[in-house]
Amino acid sequence: MKPLLSVRDLTVEFELTRGILKAVNGASLEVHKGEVMALVGESGSGKTTFAFSILNLVPPPGRITSGKIIFDGRDVLSLSEEELRKYRWKEVAMVFQAAQNAMNPVMRIADQMLDTAQAHGKTSRGEVLERASELLRMVHLEPSQVLHAYPHELSGGMRQRVIIALSLLLDPKMLILDEPTTALDVVTQAYILDILAEIRQKLGLAMLLLTHDMSIVAKVADRVAVMYAGKVVEVGNIEEIFYDAKHPYTVGLIKAAPSLIGDIADKRPIPGSPPDLINPPPGCPFHPRCDYATDRCREEVPVLTPIGDGRVVACHNWQQVHL
Ligand code: SF4
């Protein structure tokens, strides 16, 4: 089966005064129709730049310097501006990080919905408001209370649910969510994750969920891709990753994740810090932090390699790695 999204060897560079920063460095990933893929990594791992690239929306001075992005059979990097405008809400929509705080404060929710729909050629006010009401109910909000409200009249969690409803207004095939629960309290986080799982079941759309937090991944994702220093270093389904991770960085993320049932004393942060992406270490970029590093790791960059059952990992010593 052909993937809905295929990203191959993507590189995104930022030309800074200190040198060239490779925020994404030869990253590859596939997402299938209807699946929820979690893209996990520490901040600065390249997740957000990777997501912006899928929309061909990398902010300057960033620039996609190589790679291919194919969405539903179309080459995204060769779409015209007009084609991109349609692609960006109708094919792939994105809920940006902390988007709930960036809503237009002087527009009622109904007008924000109408504005978005009209910008994409949907002019029937009645039809748009009807669809908006359906979507608001889907995110457990009462349309009669929310549509006429201004953003400041809603809580952070409610605004986040409005943004999710708004992003679904043009029926995209894929929704990208960048840290969708980060600014929210724990109870609201769990509630939003439940809602995302329901939406996925009802609408059957694909989701790419960007997060630094392994503990929220298990709740909604089918598969997990782990990113480090601008590269995808491991991809597997949720059970494989949580019970049999094969990249030492994935193991580190799992051990560092807070657990509601485990002892807090068992939580072990990954030692060291992410590499300088202008001057990354030679060989495997994880080697200064890795318990499994050998001489080969300090010289040779590991490539993403199939290890069976559709899993891939970029590590010279994956056979020795255990959780
Ligand atoms: S290639 Fe070497 S340094 Fe990199 S993750 Fe694997 S064992 Fe660690």
pLDDT per residue rounded down to tens, the chain (323 residues): 799 999 999 999 999 999 999 999 999 999 999 999 999 999 899 999 999 999 999 999 999 999 999 999 999 999 999 999 999 989 999 999 877 777 899 999 999 999 999 998 888 999 999 999 999 999 999 999 999 999 999 998 899 999 999 999 999 999 999 998 887 888 888 889 999 999 999 999 999 999 988 878 888 899 999 999 999 999 999 999 999 999 999 999 998 886 644 565 667 788 899 999 999 999 999 999 999 999 999 999 999 999 998 899 999 999 999 88
- The percent of the chain in helix, strand and coil, each rounded to the nearest 5, is 40, 25, 40
Give the C-alpha distances (Å, rounded to integers) separating 32 from 1, 6, 207, 210: 8, 9, 9, 16
Count of beta carbons in the 10 Å neighbourhood of residue 209? 26
Angle CA(206)–CA(211)–CA(171) in degrees, nearest 5?
25
Residue ranges of domains in the chain, CATH in brackets: 5-103+173-320 (3.40.50.300)
Q: Are 26 and 231 in contact (CB under 8 A)?
A: yes
Is ligand 1 within 6 A of the CB of residue 248? yes
CA of 290 to the centre of ligand 1 (A): 6
Is the shortest distance between the CB of 88 and ligand 1 below 6 Å?
A: no
Residue from 285, 302, 312, 306 nearest 223 by CA: 312
pTM: 0.94
Q: What is the DSSP letter of 55?
A: T
> Does residue 284 line the site of ligand 1, with CB under 6 A?
yes
Cis peptide before 61, with omega less than 30 degrees from 0?
Answer: yes
Which residues are 30's β-sheet partners?
6
Which of 219, 223, 215 lies closest to 261 in space, CA to CA?
A: 215
Q: How far lies 271's CA from each of 124, 242, 286, 289, in Å?
A: 56, 20, 11, 6
* Closest residue by CA, ligand 1 atom 6: 315
193 by DSSP, 3-state: which? helix
User: What atom of ligand 1 comes closest to residue 296's alpha carbon?
Assistant: 2
**Mutate-to-test residue for ligand 1 from 284, 318, 322, highest number of ligand atoms within 8 A of CB:** 284
Put residue 56 in one of left, alpha, beta given phi > 0 → left and psi -120 to 50 → alpha.
left
Q: Is 290 in the pocket of ligand 1 (CB under 6 A)?
A: yes
